[in-house]
Chain A
Amino acid sequence: MFIPNTEAERDEMLQKIGLSRIEDLFSDVPKEIRYPNLNLPEAVSEMEALQNLKDLAIANDSTDDLICFLGAGAYNHYIPAAVDAIITRGEFLTAYTPYQPEVSQGTLQAIFEYQSLIASITGMDVSNASHYDGATAAAEACVLAYHHFRSKRKKFVLSRYLHPHYRETIKTYFQGYEKIQITGDGAVDGLQANEDLLKLVDYDTAIVYIQYPDFLGRIHDFKAFAEQVHAVGAILAVSVNPLALGLIKPPSEFDADIVTGEGQPLGIPLSYGGPYLGLFATKNQFIRKLSGRLVGETVDNKGNKGYVLTLTAREQHIRRERATSNICTNQGLIALTSTVYMSLLGKHGLKQVAKLNYNKAHYAADQISKLKGFEVVNFGAFFNEFVVRTPKPVSELNSLLLDYDILGGYDLSNDYPELENHMLLAVTEMNTKDDIDYLVEILQEVTND
């Protein structure tokens, strides 16, 4: 369809393969579904189509219209105007992941800077050029671990507080691998302790996956945990919120082997769930097994600095069916977005944003804990998200809050039946003190039966 051809050319091609009509090509597709009736409305003009789309867009309430306390993996952060101005330059906006890499020096340099920044904030030795999102990055980490042990270790131990979507994606990736056992994230009474997770870790374990801060917002010190994982030779993978790393110590400090994460908090708009950014960084030990693209800095034969795709023998266009990963692309423009964001903020700016998130979330938690009927659960160390036990079902509470233009927190009972009436609230630098006080006031009002 993409290559125009004439009737005569089509006939010639059909004759060559011994068919008489194009329809014969589809003979394996059952007749009744070959040309489905799609039940589409009448075609409209461009002007009408635009108006229809505008009408739909107006019906949305965005984070510009509402005060947002919803997080659970994607967060409402301020994005400096310069980010958009830079990334919409044609040279960046239209470039795809480099397939003729060395002529795309600008793109390669941007990726190299991205890799350097991610390696720096995670404390790891090396970062790849990025994946699609936090979920696919987590799945790729499991693929790496599986191949690292040459499929001899068959157990993946996932924390119950690794993002539910990431766990689902890992399980999807490993459908059809008969002997793989994915465990650790099953239902529990109350809260799962890290010690309980460790009990599942043995010499058959390829990878142990934790999240930091975890899905409930909590920050744990995983030092002793990591030692026990390493004692049986398993790989420790950690999914992070990169913004939190502006404040809390990087996973390298407790000897994580692989760090992945959702890069959305780094200057990427919520955009109804994507496109986002998959962070993926490891220790040097795993550099040959790193999935995806990798850009290196070198010099040409005249001594000028230049950038190249490096260690490409890992990739499927060279290793073919023996490649351990089939990712040959990256999230180029979005990786650039995060690079521009991090560069604009700098080391101190990142720390400052992280601190604002931390302080505001802790103020909100303090205020909510004073409300009758509400309880801040597990009031230990947390970053910008925390769990509140509510006097009403969360879905009911959220629809009441919406009447007051408040987008309430995440209903944890969606994924954790044991956490009925538990709301996960996120507070970012976008929430003013007035916003938080207003939330507290309205929570009181709508539960004051």
Chain B
Amino acid sequence: MTGDGQAWLIRNARPLGGVPTDLLLNDGFIVAAGRGLSAVGAQVMDAADLVALPGLVDLHTHLREPGREDAETVQTGTQAAALGGFTAVHAMANTEPVADTAGVVEQIWRLGAQAGVCDVRPVGAVTAGLDGSRLAELGAMADSAARVRVFSDDGRCVSDAVLMRRALEYVKAFDGVIAQHAQEPRLTDGAQVNEGEISGVLGLTGWPAVAEEAIIARDCLLAAHVGSALHVCHVSTAGSVEIIRWAKSKGWRVTAEVTPHHLLLTDDLAVSYDPIYKVNPPLRTHADVEALRAGLADGTIDCVATDHAPHAAEDKETEWQVAAFGMTGLETALRVVHAAMVETGLLDWAGVADRMSARPAAIGRLDGSGTLGASGSLEAGAAPLHGRPIEPGSPANLVLYDPAASSTVDPAGHASRSRNSPFAGMVLPGQVVATFLRGTPTVLDGKLAR
């Protein structure tokens, strides 16, 4: 999909929250930016007072297809993504079957291309069947039509230090990155909630911060030792932020993400025993939330990633300890970041664009750097370009956002097939008004355009 031939003239949008500017989109690219543009035959959209951001890129999405199409499909998941302002999502490998072969990642890649509302970048499993014992065929996935560059056993930790070292080394050959789900398994056997005051009072097995931090520290050292790239998934503790800050200060190739829910919610929500708040890693304390926000603001944490984890109702309408881990997040991510980072003065819109588009695109090798050779088109053997500045020559991947809006989150209205949003009933600022993928609107007036 390289545009549909229809040019769009977006009037008076504020790129990165700056001065109002007209943007002309044609043939999949931004072709002009400036005041008072005109174009014969172009569709005109009045974007006065709307912030224009580059299309958001999610490094961490569970689309559940193949295997759990009752919870989400590539189609519903990418629709949810578009409604949230995303133009690219990375689909995690813990599907059934696991995305651990070229065949499965190509299947997911094709389903994404067919859905057509948001680019789908498959993440390959690090170990075959996510069993943590032997490497999956990482090279075959990298060379496939899906051009996989991010590998993760997310949901499980690559806890074996030797296997982790080999994985980090092996992907250097094709500029890959290992995205680690940092969870020391022995320290978290049966764990349910953050270990602290709340776990003790509730009688739920504690999930100590050290179980995350110990793995992150080890992996930073391993990445440094073999000179490879480590990405840390869903950082959730203040201690993890400190370790990553230290690793970065050494110049090591370590990047990290934080989820919207870890930027806003805390472990005391578990007092209701409502598993809507059950997530891996668990919600942490207020002090952790403060440290995560500070880490995202100063760049220690590179990006926001949703860890969108849809679950069927019956997997959440249970006792806490048998419920599934995870929360939906695509459709609320930008609004939560608005509330947690922008309204608090920690990030401006340029900062949001950096943390939700440019940096995740760079980590996923979608910014045109590295060996992937990302381009403005979506063809087999190539990868689409994302996270580029809003300027002529960039692919026309855009989100137009109304920062003055405000509404109560109602999961019943979400495009995701699942309803497990922890933000249900909360008033959040903002509204995604429109999303453009390579010049074609996927969302208009806050609704799916196609």
Do A and B form a real pair? no
B residues with CB within 8 A of A: none
